Structure 1
Amino acid sequence: MKFMKLFSGIAFILPLALLAQTKAIVSIQNHSALNYKDAVVAIKWDAVLLQYPQIDTANFVVLNSVTKKQIPYQLEHKGHSAIQNVLVQTDVKAKSSLTLLIQKGKPEIFTAKTYARYVPERKDDFAWENDQIAFRAYGKALEKEKDNAYGFDVWVKRTNRMILNERYKRADYHTDHGDGLDYYHVGFTLGAGNMAPFVNDTIRYSGNYQQWKILDNGPLRTTFQLIYDSWNAGGIKISATKTISIDAGSQLNRIENTYTFNSDNTLPVVVGIIRRSEAGYISLNEQQGIMGYWEPTMNENGTTGVGSIMTTPITKMWVNNEQLLAKTTVKNNETFIYYTGAAWDKAGKITDAKKWLDYLNDFNQKLKNPLVVSIK
C-alpha cells in the first residue's frame, strides 16, 4: 500500500514539472561533410509543446544558445488550422551541432524571404519567389491566348528583396531595372522542370492550372497547391495536384505531384527542361537522378542555370530537339517528390556551369543526409 501511494505521488508531480518548464532546448546535428548555410529546419510543434506546454505562440523567441541572438522563425501550418512545425533558418557547420533555445520573449520582426500570390491581372498567373530566384505557372486565362505556355517559367533576380509585385505593377518583365528580369523561354515545353505523363513515348501535356490554394506564405517557407482539371493522356484520364514549396536561401523548389488516373498500373512521367538552340552545357546523371543545364549566354541578359533532382530511381535521361528529359513512374494517387529550380550568373552567387552542378550535387547530398533535430 505504501508503494502504491509513493508511485501515485510521482505520477502527480511529473506533469506539474513539465507545466512549469519555461523553455525547450533544440539540438540540430549535422552528420554530413557539408556546411549548411542559411538552412531552413523544421522543428515538430508537438515536440515543442511536450517540453514547453505553456508556450505563448505570440510571445516566444528562438535563440542561439551561445550568442543569445534571435534566430528567424516561422510557424508552419501546411494548410491546417493547427501549427505543424516551427521553421528556423540557421547555419550548421559540417560534422557539428547547434543548440537553440525556445523561450518566452518578444520576437523581432523578420524580413519576408519567400512569397507567392495569384495574379488575376496577368491572365491568371501564379507567381512565387524567395530571396534568390522567382518562378511562375500559367493559368486558365492564358489558354485562350497565342502566347500560352505549358511549363514553369523563371524570373531571374539579383536582389534579396521580394520583387514580384513591383514587376507586375510595371508590366515590363523583359527589361532589367536593376533587380533582374524575365528572359526565360518556355513555350510548349515543360520549361524549368515541370512534370507531365509520358504515355506511348509522347508527352501528354495538361491544360494550365485551374485552381490554387496557399498553405503557408513566408517569411521562411511558402507552400501552395496548383490543381489541374482532368485530361486525356493517351487514353488515360488523369487529374493532378502539385504542391510546391520554396525555402528562403534555396535555388530549388520542392514539388509534390499527385496524379489520379483510371488505371491500376504505374504511370510513366517525365520532368523536362527546355534547351536553347545555341550550345549550352548539359549534364545527365541517371545514377544520382540529377539533370543539370547551364544555358548559353544571352548577350547582356547573362546566363541561367536550370536543374532538377529526382528522389526515386530514374528509368532514363535523354535530350531531344526541344528539352532535357528524365523519365520515371508514379503510382495512382501517391505523392511523387522531386526538386527543380534555377540560378542566374548576374546574381553573383553561381556564375558558371561547374558551380551550378556543384550546387545541385551538394543539394542532393543534403537530401540524403538531412539535419537531425531533437528536443529536450
Structure 2
Amino acid sequence: MRIGGRAGAAVAWCLLAGAPAAAQEPPLPLPVVSPLPPPPDRTPRAVALLADYRYDDLLWENDRTAHRIYGHALEAAEPPSGSGIDSWGKNVRWSFADRQLRTGDQHAYHGEGIDFYNVGTTRGAGGLGIWHDNKLWTSRNFVRHRILASGGDRADFTVDYAPWPVDTVRKVWETRRFTLPLGTHFTRMVSTLSSDRAEPLLVGIGIGKHTTGQGAGELTVDRARGLLSWWGPDDPGHGRIAIAIRVDPRMIAEVRADADNQLVLLRVTPGTPFVYYSGSAWSHGEGDFRTRAQWDDYARGAALDFTIPKAGQ
C-alpha cells in the first residue's frame, strides 16, 4: 500500500490503518492576519532546512505536518531554551514553514499554518531525557546538524546534543536521526545515546502537558501498542494540536508523568540505537482530525517499523 500515492518505499514503515472518519463538520476558518508570500510552487515536498536567520532553528515538514527544534544560538537569545520538539499546524500540502518563520510573526495565522504550540522547557512533541532519582535530566539545544535529504519524498537529517549531566552520577550525549517522508504525520527518530558509564539508561520520551490552551489536554495510553496519544485543549482562535508518541512496546519500563510532561520510560543500553516515532496534527489542518477519537485511531493504527534502518533507509 502507498500512502497518498506519492512516497513509495520511503514510507513503507508508516502504512495507515485507514483514513479518519469525516463525520464532523469542518471548523470555522481562522481570520488571516496577512497572507504569506506565495510559494515558489505548490508541489508537495518533504523539506529540512537550517534557519540560520533565526538562531539556527532547524525546520522540517512534509505535506501533512511541520516541526522545528532549536539551535545552540537561541540559548542566549531567548532563555530558557531546550531540546523539546516544536509542532506547527499546517493546512496546505506545499511547504510553508520557512516563509512563515521569515515573517517574524510565526505565531499568527497567515493562511497556510501557524505556530501556537508553546514548548518552553517541556519535551514538547517527543523530546527525551534521562530519568534518574525521580527527575528527567535533559540536554540543551542541538550543537551540530547534517541534512541528508530535503526537497523530495523525504526529509532526513541528524543532530548532535552535547554531553549533559545526569545528577552527579554520569554524563550522557546523543546523536539523533529524524526522517519524515511524504504522506504521514509521523517522524521516525533513531536515537543513539552514549555515556561515560556502561550501566543501562532509563530514557523518558515526553509530550508537554501545558503547551496549548488551558489545561493539560486528554491523554490516551495503549501500552500494548507503545502509544501515548495527546489531544490538546482548544486554544481560542487557534484550535487544537494533537501529538502521539509510538515506541517499541518491548522497551517500556513505565508510563508516568512529571510536572511538565506525560512520559513513557524505556530501558536503553548506551551506544545501542533505538527507534521511536513522534506524530502531530492540527484540528484546522491536513488530515481532517476533528475529534480525539479520530486522532487516537490514526495514531494507534499506523503500522510502524522499530527495526534500526540500514544506511540510506
Q: Does 1:199 align with 2:124?
A: no
> Are the structure 2 counterparts of residues 88 and 193 from structure 1 closer, same or farther at C-alpha, using a change threshold of 3 Å?
closer
Whole-angstrom CA distance in 1 between matches of 2:6 and 2:265: 30
Residue 7 of structure 2 aligns to a residue whose secondary structure is strand
Kindly indicate whether residue 196 of structure 2 is the aligned counterpart of residue 229 of structure 1.
no
Distance 2:267 2:11 in 1: 34
Relative to structure 1, is the Cα distance of residues 93 and 187 closer, same or farther in structure 2, using a 3 angstrom cutoff?
closer
CA RMSD of aligned residues (A): 2.4
Paired with 1:278 and 1:306, the residues of 2 have a C-alpha distance of 15
Q: Is the 8 A contact 2:187 2:279 kept in 1?
A: yes
Change (3 A) 1:169 1:351: same
Q: 1:170 aligns with which of 88, 103, 106?
A: 103
* Residue of 297, 301, 304 corresponding to 1:358: 297
How many residue pairs are counted as aligned between the two chains?
Answer: 275
Residue deviations 1:42-92 (CA, integer Å, cap 9, x gap): 3xxxxxxxxxxxxxxxxxxxxxxxxxxxxxxxxxxxxxxxxxxxx489xx9
Structure 1 pair 362–93 and aligned structure 2 pair: CA distance change class (3 A): closer
Instruction: Quickly say closer, same or farther: Cα 1:307–1:123, change in 2 above 3 A.
Output: same
Distance 2:285 2:69 in 1: 22
Distance 2:295 2:46 in 1: 22
Q: CA deviation at 1:230?
A: 1.3
Q: Output the amino acid matched with 1:128.
A: W
Look up the SS of the partner of 1:171 in the other structure. coil
* C-alpha distance 361-205 of structure 1, shift in aligned 2 (>3 A): same
Residue 328 of structure 1: aligned partner: 266
The CA deviation at 1:210 is 0.3
Separation in structure 1 between the aligned mates of residue 261 and residue 177 of structure 2, nearest angstrom: 23
Identify the residue that residue 277 of structure 2 maps to in structure 1: 339
* SS of 2:237 mapped into structure 1: helix
3-state DSSP of counterpart to 1:300: coil
Q: Answer yes or no: is the 8 Å Cα contact 1:117–1:126 preserved in 2.
A: yes
Could you tell me which of 49, 57, 75 is aligned with 1:125?
57
Residues in 2 aligned to 1:125 and 1:280: alpha-carbon distance in whole angstroms: 27
1:47 corresponds in structure 2 to none
Cα offset for 1:40?
Answer: 3.2
The structure whose RCO (Cα within 8 Å, separation 6+) is larger is 2
When residues 205 and 309 of structure 1 are mapped into structure 2, their CA distance, relative to the original with a 3 A threshold, is same
Tell me, in whole angstroms, the C-alpha distance in 2 between the residues paired with 1:356 and 1:339: 15
Counterpart residue type for residue 244 of structure 1: F
Aligned partners of 1:271 and 1:326 also within 8 Å: yes
Shift of 1:150: 3.1
Deviation string for 1:154-196 (max 9, x for gaps)?
A: 1111111101221122111011011111000111111111111
Question: Superposition pairs for residues 82-97 of structure 1, below 5 Å?
Answer: 87=10
Equivalent in the alignment of 1:151:
84
Q: CA deviation at 1:287?
A: 2.3
Give the deviation of 1:133 after TM superposition: 1.1
Distance 1:274 1:88 in 2: 27
1:40 maps to 2:7? yes
The 8 Å contact of residues 284 and 318 in structure 1, kept in 2 or not, is answered as no
In the alignment, the residues of structure 2 paired with residue 93 and residue 152 of structure 1 have an alpha-carbon distance, to the nearest angstrom, of: 23
Q: TM-score, normalised by structure 1?
A: 0.68
What's the secondary structure of 1:224's corresponding residue? strand
CA distance in 2, matches of 1:162, 1:195: 27
Aligned to 1:269: 203
Q: Which has the higher helix share?
A: 1
Residue equivalent to 2:178: 244
CA deviation string 1:320-376 (max 9, x = no partner): 33211000111111111000021001015211100100011111x4548xxxxxxxx
CA distance in 2, matches of 1:183, 1:88: 28
- Once the two structures are superposed, what CA deviation does each residue of 1:202-228 show, in whole Å capped at 9, x if it has no partner? 111111100000111131111100111
Aligned-pair identity in percent equals: 27
Q: Distance in 1 between matches of 2:7 and 2:275?
A: 18
CA–CA separation in structure 1 for the residues paired with 2:87 and 2:79 = 20
| CA deviation map 1:11-39 (0-9, x unaligned) | xxxxxxxxxxxxxxxxxxx6xxxx85447
Which amino acid is the alignment partner of residue 299 of structure 2? Answer: L
Residue pair 2:190, 2:276 contacting (<8 A) in 1 also: yes
TM-score normalised to structure 2 length: 0.81
* Contact 1:150/1:186 (8 A) holds in 2: no
Q: 2:45 aligns with which of 98, 109, 113?
A: 113
- In structure 2, relative to structure 1, the CA distance for the partners of 1:112 and 1:179 (3 Å cut) is closer
Structure 2 residue corresponding to 1:318, chosen from 243, 256, 278? 256
2:246 paired with 1:306: no
